[in-house]
Structure formats: structure tokens, C-alpha cells
């Protein structure tokens, strides 16, 4: 695919034009990214032992909801966060976070490997040696996000 950039004067309106044979998923993702008014989130505010910490999103392995509380897990720390899981899912949608169960968002950059279980679920080994279960309901989403075609 050829990419061209034209610098225009500051008085003109910026625009992006796609010349494509057909609209594929990557094109729609690019359009969503360009038209999204959401800013990229770099940090989340987590609480631990009555102190608040800025947690770099890139350091987050997963975010989990347990008993109506939401927790952020990094390599060595766990923080509680006040946002609901579905709100975080929306905020982190353009990043490498994906829902893998009703209660868990996973940073796919932290996956070391994964393999199928007899139940149809997947088990993922993370780079910190933790294991998480990917519900069979969300397996197709994960494979799609990883660019796997036809379930392979």
C-alpha cells in the first residue's frame, strides 16, 4: 500500500482520503482512529493502601473486576481503580487491551503464549508467568486482534 502525505497551509482544512479496492478491516480501524475524539490514555489512577499512584498503561498486564471492585495488575503491584470495567474497556479500545471474559481485560502485549483447553477456552501464559483463562466466547476476538486468520 502506498502512503502519501501533502503538507498544506494552516488555513486549509485537513483531510484524509483512502483510495482502496474494497473497505477492509484495517481501513475501518484507521478511519475509527482518525475520527475518534478520544485521547490516548497514558496513565490510570490506582489506589493502594490509601495512596494514589499514576499507573502507566503500558505496564498493565490486565484489569479485573472482582465483587464489584476493579483492580489493575502490573508485573509486581495490584491497585484498585474507581472506574467500571466497561468504561475502561471503552477508554482502552484503541490500545492493545481486549476483553477475554466477563470480568477481565487483557493487555495482549503481555501474552507470552496461549494454548487451547478441553473446554474450548484458551489459557494464556503472560510474560510475568501468570496464567489467565480466555473464555471461549472471546477467543475469536483475541485471534482477530492478533491477526490470526481462520482460527489458525
Model confidence at 152: pLDDT above 60: no
pTM of full prediction above 0.75: no
Q: What's the rounded mean pLDDT across residues 136-142?
A: 90
What number is the average pLDDT over the span 32-51?
80
Could you tell me which residue, 143 or 36, shows the higher pLDDT?
A: 143
pLDDT of residue 104: 97
Residue 37 has pLDDT above 70, yes or no: no
Task: Please determine, for residue 1, whether its predicted confidence score (pLDDT) is greater than 80.
Answer: no
> Can you tell me the mean pLDDT for 76-95?
92
Weakest mean pLDDT among 92-101, 114-123, 142-151: 142-151
Return the ∠ at Cα 66 (arms to 43 and 92), rounded to 5°.
30
In the DSSP assignment, the letter for residue 109 is G
Q: How far apart are the first and last CA of the chain?
A: 25
| pLDDT over threshold 90, residue 46 | yes
CA-to-CA distance for 23 and 6, rounded, in angstroms? Answer: 23
Q: Cβ distance 45 to 52 under 8 Å?
A: yes
Per-residue confidence (pLDDT) for residue 30, from 0 to 100: 79
Domains of the chain, start order: 43-145 (2.40.50.1020)
- Least confident range from 22-26, 46-50, 121-125, 136-140: namely 22-26
Q: What is the pLDDT of residue 18?
A: 83
Amino acid at each position: 500500500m502506498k502512503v502519501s502525505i501533502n503538507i498544506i497551509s494552516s488555513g486549509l482544512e485537513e483531510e484524509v482520503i483512502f483510495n482502496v479496492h474494497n473497505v477492509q478491516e484495517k481501513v475501518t480501524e484507521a478511519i475509527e482512529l482518525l475520527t475518534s475524539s478520544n485521547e490516548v490514555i497514558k496513565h490510570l489512577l490506582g489506589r493502594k493502601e490509601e495512596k494514589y499512584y499514576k499507573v502507566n498503561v503500558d505496564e498493565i498486564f490486565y484489569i479485573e473486576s472482582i465483587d464489584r471492585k476493579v483492580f489493575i495488575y502490573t508485573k509486581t503491584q495490584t491497585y484498585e481503580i474507581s472506574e467500571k470495567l466497561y468504561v475502561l474497556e471503552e477508554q482502552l479500545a484503541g490500545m492493545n487491551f481486549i476483553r477475554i471474559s466477563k470480568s477481565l481485560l487483557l493487555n495482549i502485549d503481555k501474552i507470552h503464549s496461549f494454548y487451547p483447553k478441553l473446554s474450548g477456552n484458551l489459557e494464556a501464559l503472560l510474560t510475568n508467568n501468570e496464567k489467565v483463562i480466555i473464555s471461549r466466547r472471546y477467543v475469536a476476538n483475541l485471534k482477530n486482534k492478533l491477526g490470526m486468520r481462520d482460527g489458525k
